[in-house]
Amino acid sequence: MKVYVLNVSLADNQPIRRTLKLLGTHNLKNLHHTIVQAFHMHKASKARMHAATDKWRKKEKFVLARLPNDKEHRLMEEVTLDDFYSGKYQNLLYEVSTFRPWSFHIVPVKIVDRKRVNAKEYPDWNKAQGHSLNEYKHELILTEDEDEDISAFIDDNLDEALKDLDISEETS
């Protein structure tokens, strides 16, 4: 069984990185959850991964959840690490939105082939460099203009959003 050792680093050149270990049978969704835990992020509402070139150009896209009309992109849960790393690209660009959008570079450090593996030990991470993202420890402070802009946006778009959801303000 293969064990993948992956370096996951924040893409904006901050010295924040983790080294993850996952089994080849784990899928990209398992990788997503492991990154969220390793970087102490809140549960992600939106996430996607892209196969990437050595210069981080996006290629094939993998999504956490598929939109109803989206037949083009594969789900993360459909792609195991063995499947991905047997393909053309070796890098993954991971984009996730929690309280703010984050981008990560995922690069394989090594692939270890072991005869016996205790599956309970994986996924795992170690060699943490840099602090956690701590995105949720800071309060969001808006200026008066930003607060007015957000309120205006909500007021302008609420009726349309309710129509799309087939919910009216009168129903409770």
Domain ranges of the chain: 2-129, 142-172
In the structure, how many helices (H) and strands (E) does the chain have? 3, 8
- In this prediction, residue 140 has a pLDDT band, given cuts at 50, 70 and 90, of very low
CATH class for the domain made up of 2-129 = alpha beta
pLDDT tens across 67-104, in order?
777 778 899 999 999 999 999 999 999 998 877 788 99
Assign 3-state DSSP to the chain and report helix, strand, coil percentages, each to 5: 25, 35, 40
Give the strand order in the sheet containing 74-75. Answer: 74-75, 58-63, 46-52, 91-97, 101-113, 2-10, 17-23, 124-129
Q: Which residue has the higher pLDDT, 134 or 118?
A: 118
| 152 or 170: which leads in pLDDT | 152
Question: Does 5 have pLDDT greater than 80?
Answer: yes
**What percent of the chain is modeled with pLDDT above 90?**
43
The residue among 169 and 42 whose pLDDT is bigger is: 42
Q: What is the pLDDT of residue 130?
A: 66
Give CA–CA dist 149/145, Å, rounded: 6
In the numeric block, which tokens belong to residue 93?
Answer: 């660009």
Q: How many CA atoms lie within 13 A of 171 on its CB side?
A: 6
Q: Which two tokens stand for residue 58?
A: 């996006």
Q: What pLDDT does residue 167 have?
A: 46
- Location of structure tokens 């602090």: 131
Q: How far apart are CA 157 and CA 168, in angstroms?
A: 13
Confidence tier at 40 by pLDDT (50, 70, 90): confident
